[in-house]
Amino acid sequence: MPKIDVYDIEGKKVSDVELNEKVFGIEPNENVVHSVLVNYLANQRQGTQSTKTRAEVRGGGRKPWRQKGTGRARQGSIRAPQWIKGGIALGPKPRSYRYSVNKKEKRLAIKSILSSKVLEKELTVVDKLELKEIKTKSMVKVFADLKVTGNTLVVLPEKNLNVQASTNNIKDAKVILINEINVYDLLKYTNLVLPLDSVKKIEEVYA
């Protein structure tokens, strides 16, 4: 089982914890991660883009000139696609981009990324993550004490207003809850900070 140090919010090592190798110690599957990421991004698309066809644009109720004898190309409507202000041929229409991915694949993708975080030493575990008040400066200090630099994702076991609000104004930092874990955020943020309670809950759900 992979073992990792546990720190307090002042950056001092207080203990260590053995991580469940079924969650944090598997062989990362990049193909599944990519497949689930593409699915996540597709499901975020609103699909509201729309263009007007020749039937929807204004005008063009009569033939612009007679069929023969003018020396010009024959035209049936000034709202055909080749005309300025004409309809759009084969343009996008509102649609849903959603599709589903096997639950086992989603779980495998999450576990693959968590295992990669351990391998790359991008996972930091704290015994407790609590702040006395809502203060951005306090959260910045926590990251500095933990020696966490760059973009950082914090996963909390439950709502904590002080921590969540204190992180909102920190560039390249985000706080989510256990039930909000997704492939996109885990990949987007290099560093992952987990309180011990989050580690236990993740292991309960994904083991």
pLDDT tens digits for range 108-139? 999 999 999 999 999 999 999 999 999 999 99
Chain centroid to CA 126: how far? 24
In the predicted structure, residue 37 carries a pLDDT above the cut 80: yes
Write out the DSSP string of 95-160. Answer: --------HHHHHHHHHHHHHHHHHTT-EEEES----SS--HHHHHHHHHHTT--SSEEEEESS--
Average pLDDT over residues 70-85: 94
In the predicted structure, residue 61 carries a pLDDT above the cut 90: no
5: confidence class by pLDDT, cuts 50, 70, 90: very high
**pLDDT at position 207:** 83
Average pLDDT, the chain: 94
* Helix H or strand E encompassing 18: strand 13-18
Cβ(153)–Cβ(176) under 8 Å? yes
DSSP 165: H
Chain centroid to CA 35: how far? 13
**pLDDT at position 146:** 93
Rounded Cα distance, 152 and 54, in Å? 50
Strand duo 13-18 + 152-156: pairing: unpaired
* CA distances in angstroms from 51 to 56, 94, 134, listed in the order given: 9, 9, 47
Question: What are the domain boundaries of the chain?
Answer: 3-46+99-206, 51-91
Rounded Cα distance, 17 and 34, in Å? 30
The conformational region for residue 13 under phi > 0 = left, psi -120 to 50 = alpha, else beta, is: beta
* CA distances in angstroms from 188 to 63, 185, 191, listed in the order given: 56, 5, 9
Class (C level, CATH) for 3-46+99-206: alpha beta
In the predicted structure, residue 193 carries a pLDDT above the cut 80: yes
